[in-house]
Structure 1
Amino acid sequence: MKSVIYGALIALVGAVGLANAQSAKPAGAEEMKPANWLFVQVADSVTVDGNTLTLKGVAPQTLMFTDRPERMTGDAPTPAFVKFWTTGKSDFEKDPPNATLAVTVDGKPATAVVELTNPVLNGDSLTYTFKVLGGDPPKNGTNPSLFIDWWYGPGYGPGPYWGHGYCWRGPYGGLHCRPGW
């Protein structure tokens, strides 16, 4: 019995230490700079029903990146991305983003361009209301990637999302950023 308790205690201490190590800022970290951020969400599958698009098995993190003048990459927890959809001077609720849905249907690639609104995260399913801008979204498919148009920060886009994060130089020389909440 004691060995089980000690084992559980050691596992707990190790998990707390790992969480603290992951949340610590890397050496040379700097504040996030204002940038036009683009986002990518990936999932196991997608279903489209009327004007609703549902990513099933959505990844727990939303990838983000910028283009020139300085290329930056990053990631944010998907629940936080959804939470801050309606926060800021020019949030996605006020100015819905365009997005491209790239998906595999019967072994073949399919794409559609949509405007996204009203994200709802329920477990690992993320549902958006959408309006078609180009192409025909498939009724279902696998390995979807949703490429979401830019959000500018800080001060624009979701307020707490920007200006509270940090970046550090990655092995490729660019900045890797992590928003802080």
Structure 2
Amino acid sequence: MDVDNEERRAGAPAVAAGRRERWGRFVERATGLQLMAVYWVPMTVFLGLPVRWLFDRQDSLVEAVLGAALNTVWIGPSISLVQRVVGEARQDPAGIALRQALRTGTVPEDAAVRAELPNYLAGQWRATWAALLLVLGVCLGLVLLALLAADNEGFAVIFGLVAAVSGTVAALTLTRIRRLAALLAAPNPPGTP
């Protein structure tokens, strides 16, 4: 039993390092919608809500949560903007070509990048669907909270718009992924010798 525990403890740092590496790679290659899905709720709870209560202690908990979620909804658009402005300065050089291929819808010239593209597209497909479902779930919860608990149609409309914009962004991303995957599946994809 001790040997098993020692072996498990010896492998734990390698597993943790692998998780950190995968997380870092995800963050470097993720879209704005995917990062919004990951960061929106924690930023609302740990940043938006305390700041909201710091400046306006008269709000009820429901109104404070709705206001904090509204104050942190900027995460998605700002991440997308930052990715566009400084996207090429990231740490992941292979990811630059992959993101560029997805953004432009063209098959890359580099054979190594072209070989990695199907796995990248499959991962982006799964991550985009997961992000969309998570953001839509959070928006639905906030709309219901606004309508049922706070009796505030304004918040419901705003979070409904956030859901609609997120759905549109996800639809565009999924369409690009599907088109690029179809180009790769063609007998002679553009860019191949």
TM class by shorter-chain length? Answer: under 0.3
Structure in which a larger fraction of residues adopt helix = 2
Larger Rg over CA atoms: 2
